[in-house]
Amino acid sequence: MIEIKNLKKVYSGEEKDVEALKGIDLKVEHGEIFGLIGPSGAGKSSFIRCLNLLEEPTAGQIIVDGQDLTALNTKELREARKELGMIFQNFNLLNSRTVADNVAFPLEIADANKEEINDKVSELLELVGLADKADSYPSQLSGGQQQRVGIARALANDPKVLLCDEATSSLDPETTHSILDLLRDINEKLGITIVLITHEMEVIKEICTKVAVLEAGKVVEVGDVIDIFTKPEKNVTKKFVQRIINANVPEELLSRVTVENPEHGRLIKICFVGDSASEPLVSDLVHNFQIDANILYGNIDKIQGIPFGTLIIELTGDLDQIESAIDCLHESDNVRIEVITDEESVSIHY
Ligand SMILES: Nc1ncnc2c1ncn2[C@@H]1O[C@H](COP(=O)(O)OP(=O)(O)OP(=O)(O)O)[C@@H](O)[C@H]1O
């Protein structure tokens, strides 16, 4: 549905040029919720703004449903942009207009008649749960409500794609949750493809089906969210994943857990996905290898409805038996295991 080919963006500066995007190749399929995550300065904003040519790419192609946006003239581009709604971190509402008039704005520009506009505005305000706020002004609304207006406005021209530029970054966690729920609903009910950029892995975990990781203007990792969470390969990805997992590990435990006596045992971290999350893994280890397993930390979460767990276990007993137990875990397809060998890696490194 969207194909991004060799996308480059260079900002010319007086002293030196900044190469913000260094040749991005990505494909977003119809109906996906595709997330692009990356640290500050990685090029996320440049990327999303290049997607609808708010920012002109220095090189490359943006192909939406077979149409190369970079090859269009101004008039054609204006038309093509209707297929790409966009919402922003700071909502970008017109403060002198009511909620209804904000949503009506793109329809007025598209020369829709009054009746069409009224019907569409009512339908969209209903969809985003703001039917009772039609006559309010943005300043009378909470951040979450303002973003709902932004979403309704972005949907006014029935776009095929919704671009979200850090859409929840200025919202508190609870409001973030409700906006993400709304985006998921829109994706499911209206079949709209969503492309979002964020620096929060929580957002990726909550709604995305696919994720690309951007670092210094390049995509360094891309895949299904569940795979990226369970098998992150690049350091930048590991850091993002770790941030979420570590968020749940009590500080006290993280500082206490050390591998004090390697000759007496091993500290291991196990990640498990899907059905393996419900297997009696630890009791099998203890039973089959006659070793002791002391669970220091455990957590089960869900990504895309699939259980995803993490355990930190101290194995003690006969070292040969422990090594055999670890080998056995290594052979399992659905379990990812790591032996924690020093204090530094205890902060749950992958
Ligand atoms: N208009 C501009 N002129 C010059 N340089 C720019 C411009 N916009 C962005 N840059 C530079 O391009 C690089 C990528 O910036 P961009 O804003 O796309 O990253 P980001 O991942 O969105 O960062 P953040 O999360 O901090 O918003 C940075 O080095 C930034 O300083």
**Tens-place pLDDT, residues 80-114:** 988 999 999 999 999 999 999 999 999 999 888 99
| Ligand 1 atom 28, closest CA | 41
Instruction: Report CA(282)–ligand 1 centroid distance (Å).
Output: 47
Q: What is the enclosing helix (H) or strand (E) of 86?
A: strand 84-88
Q: Give the tens place of pLDDT for each residue, 149-176.
A: 999 999 999 999 999 999 999 999 999 9
Q: With 90 as the cut, is the pLDDT of residue 61 above it? A: yes
Q: What pLDDT band is residue 258 in, cutting at 50, 70 and 90?
A: very low
Atom of ligand 1 nearest to the CA of 46: 18
Instruction: Report CA(163)–ligand 1 centroid distance (Å).
Output: 18
89 lines ligand 1 (CB under 6 A): no
- Choices 3.40.50.720, 3.30.930.10, 3.30.70.260, 3.40.605.10: CATH for 249-346: 3.30.70.260
Instruction: Report CA(47)–ligand 1 centroid distance (Å).
Output: 10
CA distance 284 to 287: 5
Q: How many CB atoms lie within 10 A of CB 98?
A: 17
17 lines ligand 1 (CB under 6 A): no
Q: What pLDDT band is residue 277 in, cutting at 50, 70 and 90?
A: low
| Ligand 1 atom 3, closest CA | 11
CA contacts within 13 A on the Cβ side of 255: 3
CA distance 288 to 266: 17
SS3 286: helix
CA distance 25 to 3: 8
85 lines ligand 1 (CB under 6 A): no
Give the strand pairing for 84-88 and 33-37: unpaired
50 lines ligand 1 (CB under 6 A): no
276 lines ligand 1 (CB under 6 A): no
Q: Give the tens place of pLDDT for each residue, 187-232.
A: 999 999 999 999 998 899 999 999 999 999 999 999 999 888 878 8
| Ligand 1 atom 1, closest CA | 11
| Predicted pLDDT at 350 | 37
Going by C-beta distance under 8 Å and a sequence separation of 6 or more, which residues neighbour residue 73?
Answer: none
**DSSP characters for 293-315?**
EEEEEEEEEEETTEEEEEEEEEE
| Predicted pLDDT at 306 | 81
Instruction: Report CA(61)–ligand 1 centroid distance (Å).
Output: 20
Instruction: Report CA(137)–ligand 1 centroid distance (Å).
Output: 32
20 lines ligand 1 (CB under 6 A): yes
Q: Mean pLDDT throughout 299-314? A: 81
277 lines ligand 1 (CB under 6 A): no
| Domain map (residue ranges) of the chain | 2-233, 249-346
Instruction: Report CA(26)–ligand 1 centroid distance (Å).
Output: 20
Q: What pLDDT band is residue 349 in, cutting at 50, 70 and 90?
A: very low
36 lines ligand 1 (CB under 6 A): no
Instruction: Report CA(16)–ligand 1 centroid distance (Å).
Output: 14
| Predicted pLDDT at 346 | 42
CA distance 189 to 191: 6
Q: 55, 51, 46: which is closest to 21 by C-alpha?
A: 46
| Ligand 1 atom 24, closest CA | 40
Long-range contacts of 185-189 (CB under 8 A, 24+ apart): 186/127, 186/151, 186/155, 186/162, 187/31, 187/33
- Enter the CATH code of domain 2-233: 3.40.50.300
